[in-house]
A and B are shown apart, each in its own frame.
Chain A
Amino acid sequence: VIAVLLATKTLTTDLVVLVPVGSMIIANAMNACAQAMERFKADVTDHVGLIETGLALGAEPTATVAPYVQTAVYASLLPRLDMLKSLGFVWIPGVMAGMLVSGASPIYAGIFQFIVVAMILAASGIAGLVATLLMRARVFSTAAQLTLRPGISESQHPRETNLAV
């Protein structure tokens, strides 16, 4: 996200702009990752029976957890969407406040704050999606068995199982 915005000259390469804005984007992407992974893990461990029924009926592992991938990504995006929706009405965020205090044009400060939050939304979307997809790849063994179970760690369920007859 940062690279794209640098390429389109939306962000300048000035250190005073790049470091604070970049840190905000990275921190929010980290939060989105954590939220998506936590939600996915909780959903999968809550629906072990449903997922295993699907697997037993011959469904693809990715298809059995598809609804949980969707809810996890949505859950990670929801706080950012609400943040964007309430922008200006409920809170004047830090960047705008700082720019106003330093004497910048209020309209430009508002637009720049919107750009920052839009970048946070984009970064969170990518981070949440990638984290969930990586986690999805790890919750099944090579024999398409569900390895993520409540109270059972992965060491007790090795990825390479020789149970296939």
Chain B
Amino acid sequence: MAELLNSLDRNVVLGMAQAAAAIALCFGVVMLCRRFAVHVERETVISLARGLVQMVAVGVVLALLLHGNLLIASLILLAMACAAAVTPRGVRRRSRTRCSSASTQSLRDQAS
């Protein structure tokens, strides 16, 4: 715990400020995309939030377990493998939804 508290030093505060600047830049790009009718707002917000939270979480876990043994490292890698197995499911579902909505739109266009 003492190691974790040591990690929360000035560097981390600086890092959060830098992350805020990077997020602001991403939102600028999202607004630019929106101007050309490319709507990625929701996905970008979710991705940025997930990315930041996950990286901080991994940092905290590593700070706590940095001196752990081989068993803990194996458990972490196993959890990563499980997360990797689950992640593409969302992508498949999303692409299927996109395909069906695109085909519906094209049918609607043809009808009109």
A: which residues have CB within 8 A of B? Answer: 1, 4-5, 8-10, 66-67, 69-71, 73-74, 77, 81-82, 84-92, 96, 100, 105-115, 117-119, 121-122, 125-126, 129, 133
Contact = CB atoms under 8 A, between A and B. Distances in A.
A110 B18 contact: no
A88 B55 contact: yes
B25 interface: yes
Interface string B29-44: 1101100111110011
A94 B46 CA distance: 23
B47 interface: yes
B62 interface: yes
Interface string B85-103: 0010001000000000010
Interface of B: 6-9, 11-12, 14-16, 18-19, 21-23, 25-26, 28-30, 32-33, 36-40, 43-44, 46-48, 50-52, 54-60, 62-63, 66, 80, 83-84, 87, 91, 102, 105
B36 A126 contact: no
A66 B109 CA distance: 14
Contact of A73 (B11, B38, B46): B38
Given A5-B25, A73-B36, A125-B30, A110 B47 contact: no
Contact of A108 (B11, B43, B44, B47): B11
A103 B39 CA distance: 40
A112 B30 CA distance: 21
B21 to A, nearest CB: 4
A77 B36 CA distance: 14
Contact of A111 (B15, B47, B80): B15
Contacts of B57: 88
Q: Quick one: which of A112, A122, A129 has the most chain B CB within 10 A? A: A122
A88 B58 contact: yes
A86 to B, nearest CB: 5
